[in-house]
Amino acid sequence: MTIRDQREEDRSSLCEAAVAAFRLVDQVAEAVVQLANSSGEHHIACHRGCRTCCTVFVTATHAEAFAIAASLLAPARGERLRRFREQMALWHAAVGPEVALLERLATEYESLPPAEPDSRLLAEAAQTYRQRRLMCPFNATDGSCEIYPVRPVGCRAFYVADTSEYCSLEATQEAVIVRHAKLTEITALARRVLRGVSATAGHDTVSALPAGVERALSVMEGVPR
């Protein structure tokens, strides 16, 4: 086996691990959504085209970034790749040092930092990022997600109940977030597995979703970065 073949095999393994994790989280998330909708107490407000939460900072492991990059490089997805690169130029111009801090904290902790000062730093950095009102580079003009089948785990396990009215920065009260112990457990498991697979490939860090995909694209296209 040549070095090139080995690299291709490694990338394929990363993508396969990511897709398997996505399916696992989806199965549990779908059950939780059905349970919430059928209970009569709440209903899920999230729907196609609603992008109120798409200005939130989202992370991606190396494996997730490779799965997304592979989808963007598919022959029929040239226009979507072009739009992503256009949006990334705007993203780079608008973000600040909070991104590096958020990436460091996401890499260091599997869940929310348990104590000060990191918990405060995380909250402040996430708020700063949100206040920039940067739409996710993968969000289409109609509000739909252009990478929906391969969106990262963080996007798959987040649901708002009843109304999206309180998702915006101007909301007068907090949105009702759907929480379920099993979904929390499976999401954490998927992230650990993806971190492990990524570490095996030599990448134990967690990146901002857009930056991680941009780097993965550079690797897959053989462009030094």
Q: Please, which residues have CB within 8 angstroms of residue 21's CB and are 6 or more apart in sequence? A: 63, 64, 153, 190, 193, 194
> What SS3 state is found at 139?
strand
Query: What's the alpha-carbon Rg for the chain, to the nearest Å?
Result: 18
Q: What confidence score (pLDDT) does residue 9 get? A: 66
Dihedral pair phi/psi, residue 53, rounded to 5°: -95, 5
Q: In a structure prediction context, what are the per-residue pLDDT tens digits for the chain, which is 225 residues long?
A: 444 545 666 788 899 999 999 999 999 999 999 988 887 778 889 988 888 899 999 999 999 999 999 999 998 888 999 999 999 999 999 999 999 999 999 999 877 777 889 999 999 999 999 999 999 999 999 999 999 999 999 999 999 989 988 988 888 898 989 889 999 999 999 999 999 999 998 888 999 999 999 999 999 888 554
Q: How far apart are CA 105 and CA 47, in angstroms?
A: 30
pLDDT score recorded for residue 7: 64
Structure tokens at 28: 């549990």
- The answer to whether the peptide bond before residue 210 is cis (omega within 30 degrees of 0) is no
Cβ count within 10 A of residue 39: 9
Q: What is the pLDDT of residue 198?
A: 94
What distances in angstroms separate CA 88 from CA 28, 56, 126, 200, 212, one per listed residue? Answer: 32, 16, 19, 28, 11
Residue 176: Cβ-neighbour burial (10 angstroms; 0-12, 13-18, 19+): middle
Query: What pLDDT, on the 0 to 100 scale, is given for residue 1?
Result: 45
Contact 178, 160 (CB under 8 A): yes
Backbone angles phi and psi of 206, in degrees to 5: -110, 135
Sign of the dihedral through C-alpha 58, 59, 64, 66: positive
- Stated pTM of the model: 0.90
Instruction: State the Cα–Cα distance between residues 54 and 201, nearest whole angstrom.
Output: 29
> Domain residue spans in the chain?
3-221
